[in-house]
């Protein structure tokens, strides 16, 4: 039988006594030494005193030696083979060139690892070397796969990768060190640097992380970074978008920055970069003039020698909503028609009513000696029809038409026409001063209206008749369904008189005179149309108040008037809830490479969920003005269907939806979606060597930069040692000379004490 091979030893106590007994005996010895020292404290000779103390102390130590029975334990031990993790950043920024016209950062790492393969293999004696790519999930990689497979991850999260590496690997083997290969472009926990919790987390790893920074800092690149904008804005209220433009290698150059809305330039500014690595803040203030969801893009031009072209623009979607509908009511003179419309608008909490009435004309004589006796104010024509016009959601002219120079709006007609064309809403209510009556013809404004004057008014009472278009239109939908709407209109009292007009091509007549015709067609009473980006409605009478007041003559409560004007306002301001088809991009901004989702909610004419409706959605590129893809589907019980498009190219898109249930058209709707050109990962091509250095410093590693000739001597923790074989004890105390020494010491002390006169 071969004797085992011991490769380690340690000193141990072989005493059979329990620990407490050993402690008690040791205390007794200390006490004995102390008492002996106390007994000779008055010894006048310093030399004798020291000799006695020394002999007693040495005898005590010798006695303790025998008590402890020291021995040597021979051991057979072995070292654990710990892990070394090689972590390679697989985020998309590693696809950037490591230097102008050079290989990608990933390729540079692959080349280095190929070169360092022998050194890494040499580490295998003491460590298990594991090689991972992180995105930030760890996945095994090889130098070949790094060179072949492009890096795609949308984020760089160094800390998550380091945490994962500590927990990865084989069984319970501990990590001795990490070799981290990255450009340092962290955009998650370490984005702000190695500070605060991130710093503590790195220190807690307890593993030296040696960093290898890849990529050059001095790239030439322009990037739109740090876009700050709210998710929604109020229509006709100013809004500010703040963007950071990062320029590298553009020292002394001026660069235009443009804010566009779906191909149309909203605002532009120029920035000048003072240094070769400069960040400029640019803010754009603009006023959205329509409700809905729109895609806006902030962009800078792309220069030929830039490292990354995709980060030169950044898109976002903005939902523009109404606050309160701001209505400007301009009244030619007080009348019952005005009184009931005012009463309605004033009680509507969603309406902010600003009104101006002409209470006195030049021909009126109030019979006062001083204007101070009157409560009248000047008519602020310039303010409301010029400087403030765009602040109104809806402008209502109620029998407002004056030929007097002091009250004529001839000078502002073009403003009003442009206001409607550019997205405003306008209502012309008839009477004896407008729509062919009176002397003010307002030809320019009339261009924007869906009807044209067609002769003298007809004062005979008539009952308004709903047209087929009116039966379906949200403005005239005053019932809970088509039949209910038809019945509601039929119940309303006759109204006394109509302005004679004829509909323009493209206009939609909703209510008409049942008998009076113009050029063979029934004279329109209510007509609407879209004019440019705006909307206009004409009510060709000054007696719609009959629907408000006279309708109650028989005692039945009737809210037709309220519903009609409420619907009209909502339609004029394009209230999304008024549409039977609601289209919502889900989400409104899509990261590159992600699918575009859309949720369509279909309702029937009575606003009930339309189950089993066939929905068709077209993904329409705003940039190319061409459809990109089409998806179809059927709605569920709740009238809702979600469709998804394969990831399209970056840019702004419209989602154009239509729906049918059987042969019934459920209408159309649209929304906007921005497919981003670059995520946070690609928006910044910069290398952050200082971050890599800090990571190394905090964890006890070293920082290097690629390229390197070979693997440097990186700090690694030694693997722990564990006993893997037998042990053998060898007593040390059972030697005769130890006993002789003890007896000699005690005898010498006894002799000295007697010699010096002590008992």
Contact residues for other proteins (CB under 8 A)? 332-340, 342-343, 346-347, 354-361, 364-368, 372-377, 399, 431-432, 437, 456-459, 496-497, 499, 542-543, 545-546, 548-550, 552-555
Nearer of residues 209 and 384 to other proteins, judged by Cβ: 384
**3-state SS track over 670-681:** EEEEEECCCCCC
Provide, rounded to whole angstroms, the least separation between the CB of residue 340 and other proteins. 6
Burial 737-753 (b: 16+ CB within 10 A, else e): eeeeebeebbeebeebb
Distance CA 513, CA 148 (A): 76
How would you classify residue 86: left for phi > 0, otherwise alpha for psi between -120 and 50, otherwise beta?
beta
Nearer of residues 357 and 529 to other proteins, judged by Cβ: 357
Distance CA 419, CA 392 (A): 10
Give the count of beta carbons closer than 10 Å to the beta carbon of residue 331: 23
Provide, rounded to whole angstroms, the least separation between the CB of residue 371 and other proteins. 8
Which residues have a Cβ under 8 Å from the Cβ of 387 and sit 6 or more positions away?
A: none
Residue 136: cis peptide before it, omega within 30 degrees of 0: yes
Provide, rounded to whole angstroms, the least separation between the CB of residue 387 and other proteins. 14
Nearer of residues 358 and 613 to other proteins, judged by Cβ: 358
- CB contact at 8 A, 539 and 427: yes
- CB contact at 8 A, 421 and 534: yes
Nearer of residues 494 and 707 to other proteins, judged by Cβ: 494
Residue 707: cis peptide before it, omega within 30 degrees of 0: yes
SS3 466: strand
Nearer of residues 332 and 639 to other proteins, judged by Cβ: 332
**Token digits for 224?**
């739109």
Nearer of residues 264 and 372 to other proteins, judged by Cβ: 372
Nearer of residues 494 and 633 to other proteins, judged by Cβ: 494
Distance CA 668, CA 625 (A): 19
Distance CA 620, CA 627 (A): 4
Q: Strand runs (DSSP E) across 94-149, as ranges? A: 127-134, 138-140
**Token digits for 445?**
């404004």
Nearer of residues 399 and 658 to other proteins, judged by Cβ: 399
Provide, rounded to whole angstroms, the least separation between the CB of residue 584 and other proteins. 38
C-alpha dihedral sign at 511, 512, 518, 521: positive
Nearer of residues 377 and 759 to other proteins, judged by Cβ: 377
SS3 584: strand
Provide, rounded to whole angstroms, the least separation between the CB of residue 553 and other proteins. 4
Which residues have a Cβ under 8 Å from the Cβ of 158 and sit 6 or more positions away?
A: 89, 136, 180, 182, 184, 186, 189, 190, 691, 695
Provide, rounded to whole angstroms, the least separation between the CB of residue 233 and other proteins. 25
Provide, rounded to whole angstroms, the least separation between the CB of residue 198 and other proteins. 54
Give the count of beta carbons closer than 10 Å to the beta carbon of residue 10: 11
Provide, rounded to whole angstroms, the least separation between the CB of residue 558 and other proteins. 9
Nearer of residues 182 and 541 to other proteins, judged by Cβ: 541
Distance CA 413, CA 434 (A): 14
Provide, rounded to whole angstroms, the least separation between the CB of residue 568 and other proteins. 19
Nearer of residues 135 and 338 to other proteins, judged by Cβ: 338
Distance CA 625, CA 529 (A): 24
Q: What is the dihedral of CA 648, 653, 655, 656, to 10 degrees?
A: -120
Provide, rounded to whole angstroms, the least separation between the CB of residue 550 and other proteins. 5
Provide, rounded to whole angstroms, the least separation between the CB of residue 444 and other proteins. 24
């Amino acid at each position: 039988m071969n004797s085992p091979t011991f490769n380690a030893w340690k000193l141990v106590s072989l005493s059979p006594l329990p620990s407490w007994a050993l402690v008690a005996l040791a205390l007794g010895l200390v006490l004995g030494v102390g008492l002996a020292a106390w007994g000779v404290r008055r010894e006048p000779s310093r030399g004798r005193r020291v000799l006695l103390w020394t002999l007693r102390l040495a005898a005590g130590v010798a006695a303790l030696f025998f008590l402890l029975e020291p021995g040597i334990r021979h051991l057979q031990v072995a070292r654990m083979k710990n892990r070394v993790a090689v972590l390679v950043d697989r985020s998309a920024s590693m696809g950037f060139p490591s230097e102008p016209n050079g290989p990608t950062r990933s390729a540079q790492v692959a080349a280095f690892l190929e070169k360092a393969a022998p050194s890494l293999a040499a580490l295998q004696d003491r460590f298990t070397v594991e090689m991972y790519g992180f995105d930030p999930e760890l996945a095994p990689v090889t130098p070949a796969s790094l060179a072949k497979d492009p890096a795609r991850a949308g984020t760089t999260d160094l800390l998550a990768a380091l945490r994962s590496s500590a927990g990865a690997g084989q069984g319970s083997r501990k990590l001795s060190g990490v070799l981290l290969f990255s450009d340092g472009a962290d955009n998650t926990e370490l984005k702000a640097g190695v500070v605060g919790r991130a710093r503590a987390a790195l220190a807690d790893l307890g593993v030296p992380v040696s960093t290898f920074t890849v990529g050059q800092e001095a790239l030439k690149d322009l990037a739109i970074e740090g876009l700050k904008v709210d998710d929604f804005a109020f229509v006709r209220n100013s809004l500010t978008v703040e963007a950071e433009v990062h320029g590298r290698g553009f020292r002394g150059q001026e660069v235009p920055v443009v804010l566009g809305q779906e191909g149309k330039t909203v605002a532009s500014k120029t920035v000048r970069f003072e240094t070769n690595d400069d960040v400029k803040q640019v803010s754009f203030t603009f006023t959205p003039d329509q409700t809905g969801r729109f895609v806006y893009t902030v962009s800078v031009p792309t220069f030929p020698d830039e490292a990354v072209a995709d980060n030169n623009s950044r898109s976002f979607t903005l939902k523009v909503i109404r606050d309160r509908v701001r209505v400007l009511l301009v009244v030619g003179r007080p009348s019952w028609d005005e009184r009931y419309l005012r009463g309605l608008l004033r009680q509507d909490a969603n309406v902010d009513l600003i009104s101006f009435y002409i209470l006195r004309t030049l021909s009126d004589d109030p019979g006062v000696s001083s204007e101070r006796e009157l409560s009248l104010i000047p008519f602020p024509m310039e303010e409301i029809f010029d400087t403030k016009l765009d602040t109104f959601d809806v402008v209502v002219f109620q029998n407002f038409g004056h030929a007097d120079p002091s009250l004529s709006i001839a000078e502002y007609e073009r403003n009003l026409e442009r206001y409607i064309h550019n997205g405003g809403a306008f209502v012309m209510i008839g009477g004896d001063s407008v729509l062919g009556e009176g002397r003010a013809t307002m030809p320019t404004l009339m261009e924007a209206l869906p009807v044209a004057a067609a002769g003298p008014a007809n004062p005979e009472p008539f009952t308004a008749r709903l047209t087929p278009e009116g039966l379906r239109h949200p403005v005239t939908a005053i019932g809970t369904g088509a039949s209910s709407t038809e019945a509601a209109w039929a119940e309303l009292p006759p109204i006394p008189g109509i302005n004679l007009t004829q509909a323009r091509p493209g206009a939609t007549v909703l209510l008409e005179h049942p008998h009076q015709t113009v050029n063979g067609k029934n004279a329109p009473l209510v007509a609407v149309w879209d004019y440019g980006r705006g909307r206009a409605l004409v009510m060709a009478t000054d007696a719609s108040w009959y629907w408000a007041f006279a309708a109650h003559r028989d005692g039945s409560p009737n809210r037709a008037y309220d519903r009609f004007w409420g619907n009209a306002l909502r339609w004029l301001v394009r209230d999304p809830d008024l549409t039977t088809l609601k289209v919502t991009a889900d989400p409104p901004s899509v990261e590159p490479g992600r699918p575009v989702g859309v949720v369509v909610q279909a309702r029937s004419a009575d606003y009930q969920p339309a189950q089993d409706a066939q929905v068709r959605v077209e993904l329409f590129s705003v940039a190319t003005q061409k459809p990109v893809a089409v998806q179809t589907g059927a709605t569920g019980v709740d009238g809702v269907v979600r469709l998804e498009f394969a990831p399209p190219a970056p840019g702004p898109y419209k989602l154009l939806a239509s729906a049918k249930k059987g042969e019934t058209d459920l209408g159309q709707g649209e929304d906007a979606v921005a497919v981003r050109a670059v995520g946070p990962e690609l928006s910044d091509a910069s290398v952050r060597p200082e971050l890599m250095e800090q990571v190394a410093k905090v964890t006890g590693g070293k920082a290097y930069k690629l390229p390197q000739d070979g693997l440097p001597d990186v700090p690694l923790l030694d693997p722990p040692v564990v006993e893997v074989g037998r042990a053998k004890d060898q007593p040390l105390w059972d030697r005769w000379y130890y006993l002789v020494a003890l007896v000699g010491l005690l005898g010498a002390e006894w002799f000295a004490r007697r010699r010096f006169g002590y008992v």
